[in-house]
């Protein structure tokens, strides 16, 4: 390419690369190291510019034409280089969310098998106490069926917990023993089902430990960024602030508040029907990670005061005096980060 530029006397050039998950990254880095201006084209843009001439025919050559047309029409976007801290924040925040989702699936599987072995046992621990406390599943792992709990009695269950060094209250154990006295019969395959959900529970415990370690790493990285100030707002914790920092990136890359909401796909929505005209809350133009990870978003109520923390974004509109009710001034304020 450099030889072609010298041969034809091209003084300036740019390289347009279509975004393909993470597969375009090596190409992007290679052209940057070579001194070229590497720009990214979103697949939606390249598809839009391919369809007029080749709507039903998709080939690499036609895709290349769409990328070229999108780039020359201003859809080849520069991507600023992030500091390593923000890159690690984004990586760890996404990794944690993936672990949380997998842990949630494991909880559904464990509960399904547990219900077949110990019918009604999980209902003894409402408000997610089945997962928040160590006692419920410790007893369930020791007792495959309700008959085992009835045979052990209150003293036997206390001994199980003492061996595992788990604190307990007598009223909780009394409730479990009382349930076992009237529990329904277990599934005939209870011993085999127990083996399955024990393995799933071991995986769940491993995921819980990984999530704790990742959250500690997120806290160590968050303190190096100005997003740490978000922790002063009620409802924002280390995880939510880290996710916002990882998806938004360095705050100095945004010239104004509109730049952040624009990247998040948020815009003021307007409702107009006959004589009825009003401006509603912020709406989403399209799903983006920046908006999905925004822990500060809120929907403005139609009446009553706004919540104490206005989120990171809030829409202010000034209605026009004209008959058509056009918006004269619209701005999005972002509290200092």
Question: What percent of the chain has a predicted confidence (pLDDT) above 70?
Answer: 82
Count CB neighbours of 57 within 10 A: 9
Nearest to 147 by CA among 90, 187, 197: 187
Please state, in angstroms and rounded to a whole number, the distance separating the CA atoms of residues 292 and 333.
19
Give the pLDDT mean for 37-58: 89
What digits encode the pLDDT tens for the residues 249-302? 999 888 887 788 777 777 777 777 777 777 666 666 554 455 444 444 433 333
Contact (Cβ atoms closer than 8 angstroms) between residue 144 and residue 203: no
Window from 111-115, 126-130, 192-196, 225-229 with minimum mean pLDDT: 126-130
DSSP secondary structure letters along 238-291: HHHHHHHHHHH--GGG-SSHHHHHHHTTEEEEEEEETTEEEEEEEEESS--HHH
pLDDT number for residue 52: 87
């Amino acid at each position: 390419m450099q030889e072609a530029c010298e041969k034809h006397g091209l003084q300036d050039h740019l390289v347009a690369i279509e975004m393909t998950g993470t597969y375009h990254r090596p190409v992007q880095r290679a052209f940057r190291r070579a001194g070229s201006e590497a720009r990214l084209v979103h697949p939606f843009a390249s598809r839009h510019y391919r369809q007029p001439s080749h709507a039903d025919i998709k080939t690499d050559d036609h895709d290349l034409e769409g990328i070229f047309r999108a780039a020359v029409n201003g859809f080849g976007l520069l991507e600023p280089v992030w500091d390593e801290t923000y890159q690690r924040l984004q990586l760890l925040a996404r990794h944690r969310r993936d672990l949380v989702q997998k842990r949630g699936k494991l909880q559904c599987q464990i509960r399904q098998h547990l219900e077949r072995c110990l019918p009604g046992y999980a209902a003894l621990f409402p408000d997610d106490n089945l997962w928040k406390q160590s006692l419920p599943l410790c007893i369930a792992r020791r007792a495959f069926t309700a008959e085992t709990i009835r045979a052990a009695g209150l003293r036997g269950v206390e001994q199980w917990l003492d061996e595992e060094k788990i604190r307990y209250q007598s009223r909780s154990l009394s409730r479990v023993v009382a349930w076992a006295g009237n529990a329904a019969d277990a599934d005939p395959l209870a011993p085999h089902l127990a083996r399955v959900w024990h393995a799933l529970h071991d995986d769940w415990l491993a995921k819980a430990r990984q999530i704790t370690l990742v959250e500690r790493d997120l806290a160590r990285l968050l303190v190096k960024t100005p997003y740490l100030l978000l922790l002063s707002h009620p409802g924002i914790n280390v995880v939510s602030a880290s996710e916002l920092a990882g998806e938004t990136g360095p705050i100095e890359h945004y010239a104004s508040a509109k730049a952040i909401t624009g990247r998040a796909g948020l815009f003021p929505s307007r409702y107009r029907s006959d004589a009825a005209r009003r401006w509603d809350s912020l709406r989403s133009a399209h799903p983006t990670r920046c908006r999905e990870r925004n822990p500060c978003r809120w929907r403005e109520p139609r009446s009553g005061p706004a919540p104490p923390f206005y989120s990171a974004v809030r829409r202010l509109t000034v209605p026009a005096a004209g008959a058509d009710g056009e918006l004269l001034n619209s701005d999005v304020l972002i509290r200092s980060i």
